Amino acid sequence: MNQKDQAELVGVKEIARRANVSIATVDRVLHNRTGVSTKTKDKINAIIEELDYQPNIMARRLASKKVLHLAVLIPSISPETDYWEAPLAGILQAESEIKAYGIAVDKFFFDQNDKTSFRIQSKSLLKGNYDGVLLAPMFVDESKEFVEACQKRGIPYIFINSDVPNTNCLSYIGPDLYHSGYLGAHLASYLIGNGDRILVVNISQEMDNHHHLLRKEEGFRAYFEKNARIADIVKLDIRNTDYLSVKMELTRALDKGMVKLIFVTNSRVSAVARYLEEARLEGIVLVGYDFIKENVDGLEKRKIDFLICQKPQEQGYRGIMFLYNYLVQLIPVDRHYYMPIDIITRENYKYYKN
C-alpha cells in the first residue's frame, strides 16, 4: 500500500472513530449507498467536512476489479430521421473517455413510433444489474412506469431530449421545451404580418404522449398571447409519419387557405420542405428543428428558412458524464441542465456543431 492510500485509510478510520461507527458505514456514506440512517449520515458528512477529507476515488476505482454498468435507452436511427445519430455519437464519445476506469455502457434501442418496442426494451434493461440509466422518455406513461421500476431498484436515471414532470430523475439534460417554442414564435413574429395564418405541424405517431412536441406548441402559442400579436394559428397533427401521409395531410391543410409560415415542432421538418419543393409552393416561410443532414439539405435548397437546434450530441455526452460524476466522482449534478437554443440559417450552418 502506497503512502497516499495509507493516508486515505487513516482518514476513513478517523472519521469512523469520531462518528462511533464502523469503517463500512463510512464507506457507504462516501459512496452514497443505502443502509445508513439520515442522522448517522449527517453526522458522518459533518465530520468529513470538518476534516476536509478528499478520498482518492480514482485510485480506488482502478484498484477495484468491479465494473460499473450504465445503460442507455434511446430511439434507434430511423429512415424518417437520423436525429438520434447525434446523441448516440455523444454517448460513444463519453464511453470512450471513461471505459479505462472500469465503466461499461450498454445500449438499448427502441422504435420511436412504437411504444410496444419501448416496453420490450425497457423490460430487457431491467433484467440487468445496472448502476445508472440514461433515458430519452419519448412515451410519457411508459417512461413513468419504467422509472418507477428504476426507483424501486435504487437506480439513478437521467433524462435527455425531453423531461417528464413529477419524477425523481437525477437530472434532465436538454432544451427548455416551452421556451424553445416561445423563441420559435418570437422569430416568426418578424416574418409575418398581423392576421397572417401560421400552420403549426406536429408529426408523430404517438401524439397524445409526445410531451416535448406539445410543450413546444404551448410555448409558441403563448408568445402571441402574451405579446398581443394577432395571428391565425392553425394546428395540424400528422400521426402517420411516412412521406405519402405527410404529403396528403399537408395538401389538405394548405388547400384551406393561404399560409404565410409553417412551424414544425420536431426534426421531421425536412418532409415538409420536400413537399413544398415538389408542390412548387413559394413564399411560405418554413421553421423547424434540428441540425441533421436532411434538414441542412433543406437549408441549402432554400426550402427551410430557420432551424432551431439544441445540441443533441452534447446531451448524450453530458448524460453519460453526469452519471459518471455522480456515481464515481461523487459530484452532485444539476437537476436541470438546459441546452442553448441556437438559430441556424443557410448563412451560418457551416460553422455549427451539434
The answer to whether residue 91 scores a pLDDT higher than 90 is yes
Residues 101 and 139 in one domain: yes
d(CA 246, CA 233): 19
The answer to whether residue 1 scores a pLDDT higher than 50 is no
The answer to whether residue 60 scores a pLDDT higher than 70 is no
The answer to whether residue 55 scores a pLDDT higher than 80 is no
CATH code, domain with 114: 3.40.50.2300
Residues 322 and 298 in one domain: no
Segment 86-111 shows an average pLDDT of: 94
Residues 329 and 305 in one domain: no
Position 34 confidence tier, pLDDT thresholds 50, 70, 90 = confident
Q: Is residue 126 part of a domain?
A: yes
Residues 92 and 144 in one domain: yes
| Cβ 264 vs Cβ 308: under 8 Å | no
Position 56 confidence tier, pLDDT thresholds 50, 70, 90 = low
Position 100 confidence tier, pLDDT thresholds 50, 70, 90 = confident
The answer to whether residue 350 scores a pLDDT higher than 70 is yes
Angle at 73 between CA 29 and CA 180, to 5 degrees: 95
Residues 80 and 189 in one domain: no
Segment 117-143 shows an average pLDDT of: 95
Segment 54-73 shows an average pLDDT of: 71
d(CA 283, CA 154): 55
Residues 89 and 234 in one domain: no
Residues 8 and 41 in one domain: yes
Residues 138 and 224 in one domain: no
Residues 316 and 213 in one domain: no
CATH code, domain with 44: 1.10.260.40
Q: Is residue 346 part of a domain?
A: no
Q: Which domain holds residue 318?
A: 68-175+312-339
| 273's grid cell | 420542405
The answer to whether residue 36 scores a pLDDT higher than 60 is yes
Lowest mean pLDDT among 246-255, 324-333, 343-352: 324-333
Share of the chain above pLDDT 70, in %: 92
Q: Is residue 353 part of a domain?
A: no
In this predicted structure, what is the pLDDT of residue 9? 46
Q: Is residue 345 part of a domain?
A: no
Lowest mean pLDDT among 9-23, 56-70, 203-217, 340-354: 56-70
- How do beta strands 306-309 and 342-344 pair? antiparallel
Q: Is residue 127 part of a domain?
A: yes
In this predicted structure, what is the pLDDT of residue 6? 42
Better-scored residue on pLDDT, 100 or 310: 310
In this predicted structure, what is the pLDDT of residue 208? 66
| Total number of domains constituting the chain | 3
Please provide the average confidence, as pLDDT, over all residues in the chain: 89
Share of the chain above pLDDT 90, in %: 67
d(CA 83, CA 80): 9
In this predicted structure, what is the pLDDT of residue 58? 54
Residues 322 and 255 in one domain: no
Q: What is the pTM of this model?
A: 0.80
Segment 67-86 shows an average pLDDT of: 90
The answer to whether residue 317 scores a pLDDT higher than 50 is yes
Segment 275-279 shows an average pLDDT of: 95
In this predicted structure, what is the pLDDT of residue 332? 85
Residues 187 and 222 in one domain: yes
| 203's grid cell | 408529426
Q: Is residue 62 part of a domain?
A: no
Residues 84 and 143 in one domain: yes
Q: Is residue 60 part of a domain?
A: no
Q: Is residue 83 part of a domain?
A: yes
Q: Which residues of 46-85 are buried (b: 16+ CB within 10 A; e: fewer)?
A: ebbeeeeeebebeeebeeeeeebebbbbbbeeeebbbbbe
